[in-house]
């Protein structure tokens, strides 16, 4: 399977993404700084998170940040450090629902 559907929960990616947004994630897409990505939470790999890839790489791990650092319950690389490449699920390629706003790069 090359694609995955993900529903956004929480406010950590406001104003880019809103709770209830649905995303298409491409599993095989190579990530670049500035991309929105989906990763497994390092201390709870069953849970997926949507974050902005700031830097890093496959060897040293990826640095992921929330767009909204003041969101309640926000967790990103400031809390758990670089994310190992094995926990990166894929790159967000499309926000398809609802139709109220577009996916805006930062």
- The range of the structural domain enclosing residue 46 comes to 3-97
Structure tokens, 59: 């060897």
Is residue 100 annotated as part of the catalytic site, yes or no?
Answer: no
Cβ within 8 Å of residue 30, ≥6 positions away: 91
Is residue 12 annotated as part of the catalytic site, yes or no?
Answer: yes
Is residue 7 included in any domain, yes or no? Answer: yes
Is residue 17 included in any domain, yes or no? Answer: yes
Cβ–Cβ under 8 Å, residues 39 and 64? yes
Q: Which of 6, 10, 17, 51 is catalytic?
A: 51
Q: How confident is the model at residue 106 (pLDDT cuts 50, 70, 90)?
A: very low
**What is the CATH classification number for the domain harbouring 20?**
2.10.109.10
* pLDDT tens for each residue of 29-66: 889 999 999 999 999 999 999 999 999 999 999 999 99
- Chain centre to alpha carbon of residue 82: 13
For residue 79, pLDDT over 70 is answered with: yes
Residue entry with tokens 């694609």: 3
Q: How many domains does the chain have?
A: 1
Predicted structure pTM score: 0.90
Beta strands in 8-103 (DSSP E): 22-26, 36-41, 44-57, 61-65, 88-97
Q: Which of 12, 16, 66, 77 is catalytic?
A: 12
């Amino acid at each position: 399977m090359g694609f995955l559907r993900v529903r956004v929960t929480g406010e950590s990616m406001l104003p880019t993404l809103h709770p209830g947004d649905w995303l298409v994630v491409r599993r095989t897409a190579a990530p670049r700084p500035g991309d929105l990505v989906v990763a497994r939470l390092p201390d709870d790999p069953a849970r997926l998170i949507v974050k902005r890839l700031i830097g890093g790489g496959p060897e040293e791990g990826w640095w992921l940040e929330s767009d909204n650092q003041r969101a309640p319950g926000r967790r990103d690389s400031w809390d758990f450090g670089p994310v190992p490449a094995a926990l990166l699920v894929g790159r967000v390629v499309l926000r398809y629902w609802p139709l109220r706003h577009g996916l805006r790069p930062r």
